[in-house]
Homo-oligomer: A and B are copies of this chain.
């Protein structure tokens, strides 16, 4: 169901709480990754990590420097594990859109990654692998030079932007006034269906689909 867990297994077989044995960079990173995965990056305090490792807080510093570089290493590792993006579909527009969708799903699989990457200013770097695929597909669509570069970057920004907003929405508190109470047929210029759509629940996947199709259509369409 998760795929490619190879040597991660051995770490999980021995009991985690009291697993002291010897401490090394690998064990620190693995344990930290587990904590982040379960409770989010803000829950990763040096003291909590030390408790989980069964060592003194200060021992961690010897292996990973400090908290900041520990998180850097975690992000680095996750990025390296992401795996390639492949395009599917027949038409150029379909193929470009498929890359965007694949990218989105990859990031949704790592709930905390986007925020951590964002905070570290690594957003660009995160997309370098996918950029090559995008370049290829945009070429396949017949775009060249600066216009091709614009298309690649536009799709990139669109995907990250969408995910950032989407994750944000999930944890957003109920707002007053929110879309629900704001939009009635009267406020929506008598367009009842629009009012219902704006007041109703969000479907991020559907919205992503619509907007990415529109964007790609516009990008690959006739030059201005």
- Chain A residues within 8 Å of B, Cβ to Cβ: 118, 121-125, 128, 131-132, 135-136, 139, 144-146, 148-150, 152-154, 157-158, 160-162, 164-165, 168-169, 171-173, 175, 177-179, 182, 187-189, 191, 193-194, 197-198, 202, 207, 210-211, 213-219, 221, 224
What is the minimal beta-carbon distance from A214 to any residue of chain B, in angstroms? 3
What is the minimal beta-carbon distance from A182 to any residue of chain B, in angstroms? 6
Asked whether, in the complex, the Cβ of B124 is within 8 Å of the Cβ of A178, the reply is yes
Given contact pairs A149-B194, A169-B121, A224 touches B213 in the complex (Cβ within 8 A): yes
Chain copies in complex: 2
- A interface secondary structure, majority: helix
Please name the 4 residue pairs, one residue from A and one from B, whose CB atoms are nearest each other, closest first.
Answer: A161-B161, A214-B218, A121-B172, A145-B193
Q: Complex formed: what's the CA distance from A175 to B154 in Å? A: 20
What is the minimal beta-carbon distance from A198 to any residue of chain B, in angstroms? 5
Asked whether, in the complex, the Cβ of A189 is within 8 Å of the Cβ of B136, the reply is yes
Asked whether, in the complex, the Cβ of A198 is within 8 Å of the Cβ of B131, the reply is yes
CB nearest to A215 among chain B residues? B215
What is the minimal beta-carbon distance from A48 to any residue of chain B, in angstroms? 22
Out of B145, B169, B172, B218, name the residue touching A197 (CB < 8 Å).
B145
Given contact pairs A175-B125, A189-B135, A217-B218, A194 touches B162 in the complex (Cβ within 8 A): no
Out of B121, B157, B215, name the residue touching A218 (CB < 8 Å).
B215
